[in-house]
Amino acid sequence: MPNPTAAMLVIGDEILSGRTRDANMHFLAGELTKHGIMLKEVRIVSDDRQAIIDAVNALRAAHDTVFTSGGIGPTHDDITAEAIAAAFGVPIGIRDDARALLAAHYARTGQEFNAARQRMARIPDGATLIDNPISVAPGFTLGNVHVMAGVPNIFQAMVASVMPTLTGGAPLLSQTLRINRGEGEIATPLSDLAEAFPDLSFGSYPFVRDGAYGANIVIRGHDAARIDSAATRLAAHFPGDTA
Considering only residues 186 to 225 of the shown chain, the ones binding a copy of itself according to CB under 8 A are: 186-188, 190-191, 194, 201-208, 213, 215, 218, 220
Residue 67 CA to residue 11 CA, distance in Å, equals 11
**CB 202, min distance to a copy of itself, A:** 7
Between 79 and 90, whose beta carbon lies closer to a copy of itself? 79
CB nearer to a copy of itself: pick between 93 and 203: 203
Q: Which of 64, 82, 185, 241 binds a copy of itself (CB under 8 A)?
A: 185
Identify which range of 13-21, 88-96, 162-170, 229-237 contacts a copy of itself by CB under 8 A. Answer: 13-21
Nearer to a copy of itself, 195 or 239 (CB): 195
Does residue 79 interact with a copy of itself by CB under 8 A?
Answer: no
Among 64, 82, 183, 241, binds a copy of itself (CB under 8 A): 183
Q: Give the chain's end-to-end CA distance (angstroms, integer).
A: 33
Interaction residues for a copy of itself, span 19-48 (CB under 8 A)? 19-22, 25-33, 38-48
DSSP for the chain, written as a single string: -PPPEEEEEEE-HHHHTTSS---HHHHHHHHHHHTT-EEEEEEEE-S-HHHHHHHHHHHHHHSSEEEEES--SSSTT--HHHHHHHHHT--EEE-HHHHHHHHHHHHHHT----HHHHGGGEEETT-EEE--TTT---EEEETTEEEE-SSHHHHHHHHHHHGGGS---SPPEEEEEEE-S-HHHHHHHHHHHHHH-TTSEEEEEEEEETTEEEEEEEEEES-HHHHHHHHHHHHTTSTTSB-
- Of these, 94, 100, 107, 116, which contacts a copy of itself (CB under 8 A)? 116
Give min distance, CB of 126 to a copy of itself, in A. 26
Q: Which is nearer to a copy of itself, 58 or 129 (CB)?
A: 58
Restricted to residues 130-159, the positions that interact with a copy of itself (CB under 8 A) are: 134-135, 150-151, 153-154
In the complex, minimum distance from the CB of residue 124 to a copy of itself, in angstroms, rounded to a whole number: 20
Candidates 126, 133, 171, 184: give the one binding a copy of itself (CB under 8 A).
Answer: 184
Residues binding a copy of itself: number (CB under 8 A): 76
Q: Which is nearer to a copy of itself, 38 or 86 (CB)?
A: 38
Residues in 92-111 that interact with a copy of itself by CB under 8 A = 111
| Residues of span 156-175 touching a copy of itself by CB under 8 A | 172, 174
